[in-house]
Amino acid sequence: MNYQDITNQQRYFFNTNATKDVAFRIKELKRLKAILKKNEKLLYDAIYIDFKKSEFETYTTELSIIYHEIDLALSKIKKWVKKRKVSTSLVNLPGKSYILPEPYGTVLVIGAWNYPYQLSLCPAISAIAAGCTVILKPSELPSSTSSILAQLINQNFDSNFFKVIQGGVKETTKLLKVKFDKIFFTGSVTVGKIIYQAAAQHLTPVTLELGGKSPAIITKDVNIDLTAKRLVWAKFLNAGQTCIAPDYVMVESSIHDQLLSAIQNHITKADYNVSNHNYTQIINDKNFDRLTKLIDPSKKFIGGIGDAKKRIIPPTILKDITFSDPSMQEEIFGPILPILTFDSIDQAIKKIKSLPSPLSCYVFTKNKTLKNKILHEIPFGGGAINDAVMHFIEQSLPFGGIGDSGIGNYHGKYGFETFSHHKSILQKTFWIELNLKYAPYSIKKLKWLKRLIG
Ligand code: NAD
């Protein structure tokens, strides 16, 4: 069956209004959770084949996030779907105004490879909660996870409601020719632009969850050891292949050496090794080669020499880095952390602001004024103070970028809103009518209207 036919069938099903029934959505979300729970072993095995991601990291950074997303939707959906009453202006009285959240319709979700389960399924969960039908196109790079997703979804869901289509550039290009009611994309800035252009042909609304270079700014007053510990965890989780990983560090010069030795200490303690399941592989040879080129041996503090055959790059710290180094020219998306220094926070802010707006920004400081200055002056998607990455799991926070790092957001209620159109309604009655707006106009009517509408 071609993609147009699959989409037509989903749209036909959507138009039966079956997905508008909240009980239907609840049933399907419960079904999804049950299928994932029942097949956890298959999910762990597939991702381990793809890039040696351990059960520990797969549970904590993928499955638990998916389960929480489903549980939240199940507990809140009846509230989310309710009409939202808002105020009504004087000229429309007697009358009332309200907003009806309505499902967009048939939506396309395109996933990225680095967290292949949650980046595909969390948007799909939000779409189901909102009452949409879903075509999911996971990334083709982790091929085992893509197949297991296709197998589990396609064998257990009606394809008119929820279907996985596997494929890479060729298939996605074809898919993008079809008109969808919403496209939700997670991936690179370059491909994000392709998606946006394709969506424009059909005036399809998009959410783009993109990437970028997320800075971690560290001032001299911090708890250096704990800062290093949190930073190391956030950076080397999934071997740095995390869209919100701290991409580079800007540390106040006076604590540079102490921070470096604390980072080294925590890397040693973490014992990052694929064989002991504390670390993951680089996804493919292309990324291994790309990352290797970002390591300037003369600036290596620790790490560096990778194993091409096993696609492993050890945690690598680069020092004496400037903004013209190769590692500062693109999003790293791997286990390499360049360390830069600053003496003037104003200069540091100015420099960061001259770069594309990052998806995340992390500020490690005890200085409240400085924290507020950074928060208010640098545009970025979201972030954390005195931590990194952990804001992602806060379901009450919208997750998304700004500028080059993306358009729109999701997670929890924000995901529901992302897949909903907000239909605005003014409701009047027949029992009274003010005749002021009607012709024939008069000075007297205008005077009254001015009083009413200001
Ligand atoms: P990618 O852009 O290469 O691929 C993403 C998806 O787009 C895949 O499903 C792929 O099949 C498809 N695709 C690739 N080329 C295409 C083309 N020419 N036409 C149509 N579709 C195409 O990204 P990736 O390598 O999977 O992920 C890495 C990037 O994603 C990084 O920049 C990272 O920061 C970003 N990312 C962002 C988030 C977020 O939540 N904001 C999460 C994870 C990754």
Atom of ligand 1 nearest to the CA of 168: 11
CA 259–ligand 1 middle distance (angstroms): 33
Nearest to 282 by CA among 336, 320, 234: 336
Q: Which of 57, 243, 252, 417 is catalytic?
A: 243
Answer yes or no: do 36 and 154 share one domain: yes
Answer yes or no: do 368 and 412 share one domain: no
Pick left, alpha or beta for residue 318 (phi over 0 → left; psi -120 to 50 → alpha; otherwise beta): beta
Query: Is residue 245 situated within a structural domain?
Result: yes
CA 390–ligand 1 middle distance (angstroms): 22
Answer yes or no: do 143 and 254 share one domain: no
- Reported as type and span, the H/E element at residue 14 is helix 3-14
Report pLDDT digits (tens) over 259-292.
Answer: 999 999 999 999 999 999 999 999 999 999 999 9
Query: Is residue 108 situated within a structural domain?
Result: yes
Q: Residue 294: which CATH number?
A: 3.40.309.10
CB 319 within 8 A of CB 328: no
Query: Is residue 452 situated within a structural domain?
Result: no
Which two three-digit tokens encode residue 307? 């194993």
CB 154 within 8 A of CB 100: no
CA-nearest residue, atom 23 of ligand 1: 187
Pocket test for ligand 1, best of 191, 207, 399, 402 (most atoms within 8 A of CB): 191
Annotated active-site residue 209? The verdict is yes
Dihedral angle sign, alpha carbons of residues 83, 88, 91, 95: positive
Which two three-digit tokens encode residue 185? 């994309």
Residue 452: which pLDDT band, with cuts at 50, 70 and 90? Answer: confident
Query: Is residue 430 situated within a structural domain?
Result: no
What does the angle CA 19 – CA 23 – CA 25 come to, to the nearest 5 degrees?
A: 45
Q: Residue 135: which CATH number?
A: 3.40.605.10
Residues with CB under 6 A from ligand 1: 110-114, 119, 137, 139-140, 168-169, 172-173, 186-188, 191, 194, 209-211, 243, 331, 333, 359, 401, 406
How is residue 410 annotated by DSSP?
A: B
Answer yes or no: do 89 and 238 share one domain: no
Answer yes or no: do 149 and 21 share one domain: yes
CA-nearest residue, atom 19 of ligand 1: 169
- Reported as type and span, the H/E element at residue 103 is strand 95-103
Q: Which of 28, 209, 331, 417 is catalytic?
A: 209
Nearest to 216 by CA among 227, 205, 204, 202: 227
The pLDDT assigned to 434 comes to 85
Query: Is residue 448 situated within a structural domain?
Result: no
Nearest to 215 by CA among 349, 390, 410: 349
Answer yes or no: do 392 and 418 share one domain: no
User: How many other CB atoms are found less than 10 A from the CB of residue 220?
Assistant: 16
Region 199-210: mean pLDDT is 98
CA 260–ligand 1 middle distance (angstroms): 32
Query: Is residue 428 situated within a structural domain?
Result: no
Report the distance separating Cα 202 and Cα 200, nearest Å.
5
Answer yes or no: do 288 and 169 share one domain: no
Answer yes or no: do 108 and 178 share one domain: yes
Answer yes or no: do 176 and 228 share one domain: no
Show Cβ contacts of residue 20 under 8 Å, excluding neighbours closer than 6 positions: 103, 131
Annotated active-site residue 132? The verdict is no
Report pLDDT digits (tens) over 235-266.
Answer: 999 999 999 999 999 999 999 999 999 999 99
Query: Is residue 72 situated within a structural domain?
Result: yes
Report the distance separating Cα 337 and Cα 239, nearest Å.
11
Query: Is residue 61 situated within a structural domain?
Result: yes
CA-nearest residue, atom 9 of ligand 1: 139
Q: Is the peptide bond before 94 cis (omega within 30 degrees of 0)?
A: yes
Count of structural domains within the chain:
2
Atom of ligand 1 nearest to the CA of 191: 2
Answer yes or no: do 186 and 266 share one domain: no
Detail the DSSP E strand segments found in 104-241: 106-110, 133-137, 162-164, 182-186, 206-209, 215-218
Report the distance separating Cα 77 and Cα 84, nearest Å.
14
The pLDDT assigned to 396 comes to 97
Answer yes or no: do 103 and 137 share one domain: yes
Residue 226 has pLDDT above 90, yes or no: yes
Report the distance separating Cα 64 and Cα 71, nearest Å.
10
CB 312 within 8 A of CB 283: no
Which two three-digit tokens encode residue 3? 């993609």
Show Cβ contacts of residue 330 under 8 Å, excluding neighbours closer than 6 positions: 213, 294
pTM: 0.97
Answer yes or no: do 70 and 161 share one domain: yes
The domain containing residue 269 runs over which residues?
Answer: 215-397
The pLDDT assigned to 55 comes to 97
